[in-house]
């Protein structure tokens, strides 16, 4: 192991505490004994992981990520983050129940967990800290430092930050509050929709099924149909759920897929905290049976119509309206938590059949690529959604990952079978027995 240059200590000018961003503000109130809003990003290397070196790498990168180096605290009117006095969380062998609930007093108060297994490094992140982009930058920077400690020369760039640079205010900002400026109002009137059901797994458990797909081969198909990869997969998820509902021969309900949209490109944001908003694409099978090409067309129209800067700004501003309301702002936190908890208990996932989160291409330095096999994004298991989906792409390997709360695997099987019938090669891996 070669000696690497010691990173700088945490900048004393950085805040010792800061408020949760707008997206994060509801997550603590939604925490229950069985569920937290948590997701996983993992990187598979080409060599076995050394946990001692991984622990050292984590210690070295922590000063570069003050937005992760925190614990959550309760104020009188709101939650806030403060600098965690513990030096660093531990790294642990991977578990059979990834993305299990967060308890604020466990893990020395840290809201992320680092695991290793074989050649994989995985980070489970509580969504109040960050979204998929921020968590993947954190994880890729961790992996880069781990490789340096093994003796490799690894540059910075893309999803790998320079740990000797000072964190910037732009990385720490609440971009929701900074950029929300709309005077328009967007009304949401989503119906309760169809949910696939089955034999539920014990609490905190999840069935994971991941498929490796050639990005270039998939792109040929999506390009020929005039849609993006996100639009293509959203349409396929709608189709699989519509067909499943038809086979059940029950009263038909709308089917919808929730699609998080990263707002950083739209507003030039560099934040490593949350900065995405969810859109929904939906179809009503009561109108008749849709072909796949018809679903592609309606999904593309819905997403492109909604993914408009002014409409997105109006949605964000509307979300901030609750936070800025002078009455609600100074309502005691215990009452806010009660209201959020009851609302979530009643409406949680009722308006979404499934979730599809596409991180896109994970960009790494050239000298790091040779050490990486593939990357994964996995949303945490839902409360009602049978199968929530995450996509991450490295080079030509696109990983499509299902997180399922049921024993049955018919949704995953039908989804990947459809891809194979289109001429794509899919390599499946799973934690199922």
pLDDT of residue 3: 45
Domains of the chain, CATH where assigned: 17-164 (3.30.559.10), 207-430 (3.30.559.10)
According to DSSP, the residues that pair with 122 across neighbouring strands are 42, 115
pLDDT of residue 35: 87
According to DSSP, the residues that pair with 357 across neighbouring strands are 390
Mean pLDDT per 10-residue run, the chain (433 residues)? 54 76 90 90 98 98 96 93 94 95 94 98 97 98 98 98 96 93 77 94 93 98 98 98 95 96 96 96 96 98 94 90 77 88 83 97 98 97 91 98 96 98 97 82
pLDDT of residue 324: 78
pLDDT of residue 219: 98
pTM: predicted TM-score of the whole model, two decimal places: 0.95
Count of CB atoms within 10 A of residue 90's CB?
Answer: 13
Pair type for strands 387-394 and 354-361: parallel
pLDDT of residue 1: 37
φ and ψ of 373, to 5 deg? -90, -55
pLDDT of residue 2: 38
Q: How far apart are CA 65 and CA 135, in angstroms?
A: 10
pLDDT of residue 9: 61
């Amino acid at each position: 192991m070669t000696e690497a240059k010691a990173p700088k200590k945490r900048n004393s000018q950085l805040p010792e505490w800061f408020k949760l961003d707008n997206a994060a503000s509801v997550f603590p109130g939604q925490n229950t004994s069985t569920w937290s809003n948590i997701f996983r990003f993992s990187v598979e290397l080409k060599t076995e992981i050394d946990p001692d070196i991984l622990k050292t790498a984590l210690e070295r990168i922590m000063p570069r990520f003050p937005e992760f180096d925190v614990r959550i605290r309760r104020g009188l009117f709101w939650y806030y983050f403060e600098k965690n006095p513990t030096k660093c969380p531990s790294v642990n062998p991977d578990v059979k129940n990834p993305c299990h609930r967060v308890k604020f007093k466990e893990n020395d108060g840290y809201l992320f967990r680092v695991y290793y297994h074989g050649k994989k490094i995985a980070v489970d992140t509580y969504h109040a800290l960050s979204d998929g982009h921020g968590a993947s930058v954190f994880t890729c920077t961790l992996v880069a430092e781990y490789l340096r400690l093994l003796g490799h020369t690894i540059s910075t760039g893309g999803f790998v930050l320079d740990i000797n640079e000072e964190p910037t205010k732009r990385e720490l900002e609440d971009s929701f509050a900074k950029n929300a400026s709309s005077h328009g109002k967007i009304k949401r009137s989503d119906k309760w929709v169809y949910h696939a059901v089955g034999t539920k797994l014990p609490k905190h458990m999840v069935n994971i099924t991941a498929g490796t797909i050639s990005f270039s081969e998939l792109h040929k198909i999506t390009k020929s149909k005039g849609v993006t990869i996100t639009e293509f997969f959203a349409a396929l998820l709608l189709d699989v759920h519509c067909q499943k509902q038809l086979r059940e021969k029950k009263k038909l309900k709308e089917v919808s897929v929730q699609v998080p949209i990263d707002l950083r490109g739209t507003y030039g944001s560099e934040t490593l905290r949350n900065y995405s908003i969810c859109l929904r694409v939906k179809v009503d099978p009561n109108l008749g049976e849709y072909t796949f090409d018809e679903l592609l067309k309606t999904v593309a129209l819905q997403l492109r119509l909604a993914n408009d800067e002014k409409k997105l700004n109006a949605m964000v501003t509307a979300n901030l309206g609750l936070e800025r309301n002078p009455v609600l702002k100074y309502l005691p936190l215990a009452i806010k938590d009660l209201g959020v908890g009851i609302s979530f208990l009643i409406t949680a996932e009722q308006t979404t059949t499934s979730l599809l989160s596409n991180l896109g291409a994970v960009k790494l330095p050239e000298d790091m690529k040779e050490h990486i096999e593939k990357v994964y994004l996995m949303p945490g298991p839902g409360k009602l959604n049978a199968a929530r989906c995450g996509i991450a792409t490295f080079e030509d390997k696109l990983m499509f990952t299902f997180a399922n709360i049921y024993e049955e695997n018919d949704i995953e099987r039908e989804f990947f079978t459809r891809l194979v019938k289109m001429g794509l090669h899919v390599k499946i891996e799973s934690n199922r027995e």
